[in-house]
Amino acid sequence: MVQSHRIVSLAIMPTLCLGIPWASNVGNSTFGYSNTSFYLHGRPYQMIGGQIDPQRVPREYWRDRLEHAKAMGLNTIFSYIFWNELEPSPGVWDWDGIRGMNDIAAWYQAVQDAGLQAVLRPGGYICGERDWGGMPAWLSQIQNLTVRSNNPQFLEHSDYYFGNLSQQIFKYQVSQGGPILLAQVENEYGQYGSDHAYTAALSALIAKHFNLLQYTNDGGSQTQFPNGPVHGVLAEIDGDPYQGFATRKNSISDPTEMGPSLDGEYYFAGASWILNQASSFSLYMFHGGTNFAFSNGGLNFGQLEAVTTSYDYGAPLDESGRPRELYWELRSAIANYTGKTPNIVQTLPMSNISDVPLRPVATLLEESSGTIKSDSPINMEQLGQSYGYILYRYQAPYGVNISGQLHPGDGPRDRVLVYVNGNKRGVIDATYNPPQNVTIQIVGGDVLELLVENQGRVDYSSPLLDQRKGIIGDVYIGSNLVSPWTIQSYSVPTPPQGLIGKGTNHLPMITVSANSTPVWYKGNFKLDGRVAGTAAADTFLSISGGIKGVLYVNGYNLGKYWTVGPAQSQYIPGAWLREDNEIIVLELEPQVDKELVASGSSERVWYNNPDPDCISCKSANPNP
């Protein structure tokens, strides 16, 4: 059973046995704060922190990343927790994920084993360039539910989420002798709204399930910061500390929100100023990691900007866990301030992989069981699907002859590939302003197929956006309503079972035609020169000849690629490699005159290419 605790408002707490004003004696361990300092076990504690999100990092490398953090001089690890990955369907919990990356309890055990402290950033909304800011896609199907609001349905599901998360990590709170010191309420809510009843209700739910002091984290501008604080909760800032700390000092009138200064997302290279202020901070990110599979989010300020699979973030510890120059600069600044020089952690070399030819072995849009028929299109979430692709198929009855511009519902969500009789006729993509027009003609017997890709639900935007994917509304060709539809989901979290584990030469090679529908490609390679199953075999894998698609290695979904870039290669953890390996690629836009070839390099490749589907239109910032 989950234990319930409520922490008394710090403003009305008496001086405790340590003699520290406003300190909270929580359980057997003491963590608290005064107006100017945090205190841990009775001693002043300055958080020299950095962000690592465990669900972005292969579990096999958690210890390595934490040891690198410690070697740079950090003492506290801040972590987002992604609700959508933990509860992929209502009431269905996945505490494993890809190779154990959802084992949040194991993450905090690793933090404790490394001798580090932790700060919990549980959301439910976390932003973080994740699909819908870490909130589950199925929330969009609950009647009358409004996210990030004082809405009974949203709070009910948030309550359930916090309760289940608490059961996993309760013993890792500082009150139980664990490393977790603080819990964040929401995330940068002041940039989004000003409903203090909502944030107070969320704070109460966190207090119900966790025995932790809390804080809010908001942008440091005068227009954003005042909207976020909660009575009885420590109010903190992120971003520019020069502006933010001044705004915080001048804006807070409620003494229950006051305390030491913390920059919860510190983006700047130089740390000396903030250290010398005796202020706390967390580098965002210390180590970014990877948006594996379909977990990337997007931005929207009038048009979609999808986030890359890579979440390198230019962090001190790069996506592969190797220190870059910034790491050593920060390490030097921290050592000069603390007077302590930690031991350096060994960095292993990266691996190269020779060219691996990929052969076309199957098509995606084959007829299969499980299709749904409907007069109007049904959105992705209604079918219990959160990610991937959804196909809408219409066969024109004899006697039909219509032509004109195609209108897929209320607009592209997010990228619509248009096929007539199995031949691609165009692409309508929300990342372009305006999206391209596609004009088609349909006569009796023709088959119109619309394959819609979810490129990532928006995690940060100016308006409150409808996050449903697929086609919303009816489809028209010119002024002609198109109906009925046969609908098929292609969530493709893994490749088809018939392709996994079979040597490429044992699969029939198919012929790719011009303007073909999506095709599965496969290749095999042996790992040379590095030890399989270790970080020494890490590599960055490029797919030359590919336009847009998904990369799978040994059955694991490594994420999306797109020729437009900027990332032209994908991080492949060596821990996920074997002596004999298979690469499977779902190429959405196969080219009849191009062979697909995979190759691994010790260096990531960054550059941009024009989108062959959109030569004449302007891209906002098209990323996979």
Please list the active-site residues.
188, 265
Q: Could you count the other beta carbons within 10 Å of the beta carbon of residue 447?
A: 14
Task: Quote the CA–CA distance of 497 and 212 in Å, as a whole number.
Answer: 45
Q: Which candidate, 203, 148, 502, 519, places its Cα nearest to that of 362?
A: 519
Q: Which of 460, 46, 54, 51 has the alpha carbon at shortest distance from 276?
A: 46
CB 113 within 8 A of CB 63: yes
Q: Hey, how many other C-beta atoms are within 10 angstroms of the C-beta on 256?
A: 18
Q: Residues of 148-176 as b/e, b for ≥16 C-beta within 10 angstroms?
A: bbbbeebbebbbebbebbbebbbebbbbb
Q: Which two tokens stand for residue 559?
A: 């994420």
Identify the CA nearest to 598 among candidates 566, 562, 570, 556: 570
| Number of other residues whose CB lies within 10 A of the CB of residue 94 | 12
Q: What angle do CA 549, 551, 554 make, to 5 degrees?
A: 155
Q: Say how far apart CA 340 and CA 332 lie, in whole Å.
A: 10
**How far is the C-alpha of 81 from the C-alpha of 491, rounded, in Å?**
23
Q: How far apart are CA 449 and CA 235, in angstroms?
A: 52
Query: What tokens appear for 15 in the block?
Result: 């001086």
| 375-389 CB burial, b ≥16 within 10 A, e <16 | ebbbbbbbbebbbbb
| 469 and 454 Cβ atoms separated by less than 8 Å | yes
Assess whether the previous peptide bond of 474 is cis (omega < 30° from 0): no
- CA separation, residue 613 to residues 427, 476, 517, 622 (Å): 7, 22, 14, 12
